[in-house]
């Protein structure tokens, strides 16, 4: 592959290395050994021979080098002569040290329950039974031709699975009409009388029923279609390795204080719960809660969360934004123009890129690949930040079998396109579920339109949460936009907008203010007033479902006007004064509405009773204890007078006189 060491070094802000090695793993391996002896951390621009370089480092007890592929991703390309800025960008991104990722431990002893019909269940049990504890559960109606095993080395039952829960190492199955195999069966398998509903616990489940699984996809529940012998062989090999302790990343992090799921029993936002494919998210009080043992790291929950309460935490913190900035900034420093970001799920994207490099024209020089743990976890904050930092186009490459995870990502891409297009930018975001290298090549071959995004490119650091990052990206895109409009109309469900209050219905009860998770709604310390800070509104709908008067409606839009960043009054009125002492104590609308609704009620039928509603809390108590027709209906017996020594002395003196 052609290589311009001088241009690569200049883009990285360093000096041109001398010499440049082209066969470091073979003819020039002595140079690598000499570098190892120096004790400095090494970076080797070769991905293919990484195992060899690591092995050589281990022989001399040195730290293995960081091996970075610039061949398949840059050098093996029809445009390799222009790929120096991209090579530098790939190196700058690779040397960033990721933050430690929290993990969770799963423990499996290897006990297996096999569900299914016919001889395939017994054959699979025989294959696994030599090393693992196996229990077979045969579905009713398909066991008449099965021959009882000569030696009962496994649990054998007939039953109907009706429910399941748990994860790898801790599954629990509920079985109806459970019956044990008869030990005296001769010609054909027979079962004892059913004992009713029972539960079975196991570490792994092999599901050969062909029915929809009782649980959403998760580690340890292995489903195979009946008759698929290849898939069954893979499943048996996989189950054989599911014994011991396993570390998996703690994929997502939840800030319950920001969650807009519900307040006071009123449910508003269920976006993350609706898109979770593994069933790891469940409501817990007013917020969503995640079972880290079940979570499979699919990511759509983080993409769809409007407040940023759910964050995809692999890599931890804002690591993916740091890598994004390193790629784009180094590419520009090397003279690159109109970069196209190819964001892909690690292994899947790497395989397609390698195929293009070996058998096609490779990646274009302007295409910068960025591998992430889960493409579906990317939200509008990442996409708009990439556009603000100068990406001319984003292509999000996902596995075709993950189509079910991509709807939130497609919604985020549509939002980014609406915002960029509304401001006059030609940059676009495309979601591509592709397994064919030719399909990827065709998508990347499309010309990059002009004008290119933002000049100058944004250089802000991403340090805050989702909403803060969105605010920075949107401000930069608007500041340099070809068409800097003040307002963009958005679609329902987009996480920006305002609320409209029906003044005739609103009583300023302020029930909507404490439930707002982003503090977009607020009151006033001196008078009944409802205000909105529009930039904070995420259109979660909690205010709408909480309002007792049904006076609130949502308006999806994106405002760049100055008044969106300051409190705007939605309704305000003078406070209602107490008719007894004159102290303001409530809003006029609330008192009038209460008087209207309580008129004619039996509790307020007596003359003057409605006046109690018009009094402050102190005067209301006093009025209730005042005489009414010579009676004190709410008063108890007269209190006993306290007598003191002075009283007794006074009485004694009076008697003497």
* Enclosing H/E stretch for 532: strand 529-532
pLDDT at residue 191 greater than cutoff 80: yes
Per-residue model confidence as pLDDT tens digits over 86-138:
999 999 999 998 888 889 999 999 999 999 998 889 999 988 987 899 999 99
Cα(497)–Cα(489) distance, rounded to whole angstroms?
A: 9
Q: How much is the pLDDT for 151?
A: 75
Cα(49)–Cα(64) distance, rounded to whole angstroms?
A: 12
pLDDT at residue 635 greater than cutoff 80: no
Please enumerate, as own/partner, the contacts of 485-488 that have beta carbons within 8 Å and a separation of 24 or more.
Answer: 485/422, 485/423, 485/560, 486/559, 486/560, 486/561, 487/557, 487/558, 487/559, 487/560, 487/561, 488/418, 488/419, 488/422, 488/423, 488/557, 488/558, 488/560
What is the average pLDDT across 159-164? 95
- When pLDDT is cut at 50, 70 and 90, the band that residue 467 belongs to is very high
Beta strands in 181-276, from DSSP E residues, in sequence order: 198-202, 204-207, 221-223, 244-249, 252-254, 262-263, 266-267
pLDDT at residue 498 greater than cutoff 60: yes
Cα(365)–Cα(353) distance, rounded to whole angstroms?
A: 13
- When pLDDT is cut at 50, 70 and 90, the band that residue 560 belongs to is very high
Q: How much is the pLDDT for 453?
A: 56
Q: How much is the pLDDT for 427?
A: 85
pLDDT at residue 625 greater than cutoff 80: no
Kindly state the percentage of the chain with pLDDT values over 70.
Answer: 97
What is the average pLDDT score of the chain?
91
Q: How much is the pLDDT for 145?
A: 76
- When pLDDT is cut at 50, 70 and 90, the band that residue 637 belongs to is low
What is the average pLDDT across 631-643? 62
Per-residue model confidence as pLDDT tens digits over 51-77:
999 999 999 999 999 999 999 999 999
The mean-pLDDT minimum among 173-187, 201-215, 352-366, 406-420 falls in: 173-187
Per-residue model confidence as pLDDT tens digits over 317-340:
889 999 999 999 999 999 999 999
| Nearest alpha-carbon partner for 352 in 430, 447, 444 | 444
Per-residue model confidence as pLDDT tens digits over 21-40:
989 999 999 999 999 998 89
Q: How much is the pLDDT for 630?
A: 47
């Amino acid at each position: 592959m052609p290589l311009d060491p001088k241009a690569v070094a200049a883009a990285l802000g360093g000096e041109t290395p001398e010499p440049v090695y082209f066969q470091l793993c073979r003819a020039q391996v002595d140079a690598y050994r000499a570098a190892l002896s120096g004790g400095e951390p090494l970076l080797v621009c070769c991905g293919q021979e990484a195992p060899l370089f690591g092995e050589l480092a281990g022989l001399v007890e040195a730290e293995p080098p960081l091996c970075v592929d610039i061949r398949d991703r840059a050098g093996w390309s029809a445009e390799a002569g222009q790929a120096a800025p991209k090579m530098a960008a790939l190196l700058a991104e690779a040397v960033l040290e990721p933050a430690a990722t929290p993990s969770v431990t799963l423990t499996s002893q290897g006990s297996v329950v096999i569900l299914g019909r016919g001889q395939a269940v017994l054959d699979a049990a025989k294959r696994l039974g030599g090393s693992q504890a196996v229990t077979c559960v045969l579905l009713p109606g398909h066991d008449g031709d099965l021959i009882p095993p000569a030696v009962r080395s496994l649990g054998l039952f007939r039953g109907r699975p009706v429910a399941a829960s748990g994860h790898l190492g801790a599954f629990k199955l509920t079985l109806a009409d459970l019956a044990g195999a008869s030990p005296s069966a001769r010609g054909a398998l027979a079962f004892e009388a059913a004992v009713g509903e029972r539960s079975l616990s196991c570490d792994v489940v092999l599901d050969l029923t062909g029915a929809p699984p009782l649980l959403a996809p998760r580690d340890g529940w292995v489903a195979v279609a009946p008759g698929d012998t290849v898939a069954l062989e893979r499943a048996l090999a996989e189950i054989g390795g599911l014994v011991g302790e396993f570390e998996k990343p703690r994929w997502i992090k939840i800030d319950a204080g920001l969650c807009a799921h519900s307040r006071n029993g009123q449910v508003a936002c269920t976006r993350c719960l609706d898109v979770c494919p593994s069933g790891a998210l469940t409501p817990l009080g007013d917020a969503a809660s995640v079972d880290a043992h079940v979570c499979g790291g699919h990511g759509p929950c983080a993409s769809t969360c409007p407040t940023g309460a759910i964050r995809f935490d692999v890599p931890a913190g804002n690591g993916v934004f740091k890598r994004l900035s390193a790629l784009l900034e180094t590419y520009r420093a090397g003279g690159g123009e109109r970069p196209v970001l190819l964001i892909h799920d690690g292994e899947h994207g790497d395989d397609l890129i390698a195929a293009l490099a070996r058998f096609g024209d490779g990646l274009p020089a302007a295409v910068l690949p960025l591998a992430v743990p889960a493409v579906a976890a990317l939200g509008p904050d990442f996409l708009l930040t990439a556009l603000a930092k100068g990406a001319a186009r984003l292509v999000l490459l996902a596995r075709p079998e993950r189509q079910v995870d991509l709807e939130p990502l497609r919604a985020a891409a549509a939002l980014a396109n609406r915002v960029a297009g509304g401001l006059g930018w030609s940059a676009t975001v495309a979601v591509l579920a592709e397994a064919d290298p030719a399909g990827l090549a065709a998508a990347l071959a499309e010309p990059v339109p002009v004008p290119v995004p933002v000049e100058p490119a944004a250089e802000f650091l991403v340090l805050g949460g989702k909403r803060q990052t969105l605010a920075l990206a949107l401000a930069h895109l608007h500041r340099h936009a070809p068409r800097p409009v003040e307002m963009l109309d958005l679609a329902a469900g987009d996480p920006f907008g305002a609320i409209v209050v029906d003044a005739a219905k609103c009583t300023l009860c302020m029930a909507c203010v404490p439930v707002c998770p982003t503090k977009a709604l607020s009151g006033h310390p001196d008078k009944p007033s409802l205000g909105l800070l529009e930039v904070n509104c995420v259109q979660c709908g909690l205010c709408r479902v909480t309002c007792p008067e049904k006076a609130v409606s949502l308006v999806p839009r994106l405002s760049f006007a100055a008044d969106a960043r300051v409190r705007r009054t939605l309704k305000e009125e003078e406070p209602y004064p107490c008719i007894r002492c004159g102290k303001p104590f409530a809003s006029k609308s609330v008192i009038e509405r209460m008087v209207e609704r309580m008129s004619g009620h039996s509790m307020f039928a007596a003359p003057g009773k409605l006046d109690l509603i018009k009094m402050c809390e102190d005067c209301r108590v006093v009025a209730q204890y005042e005489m009414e027709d010579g009676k004190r209906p709410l008063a108890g017996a007269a209190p006993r007078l306290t007598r003191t020594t002075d009283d007794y002395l006074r009485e004694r003196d009076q008697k003497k006189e």
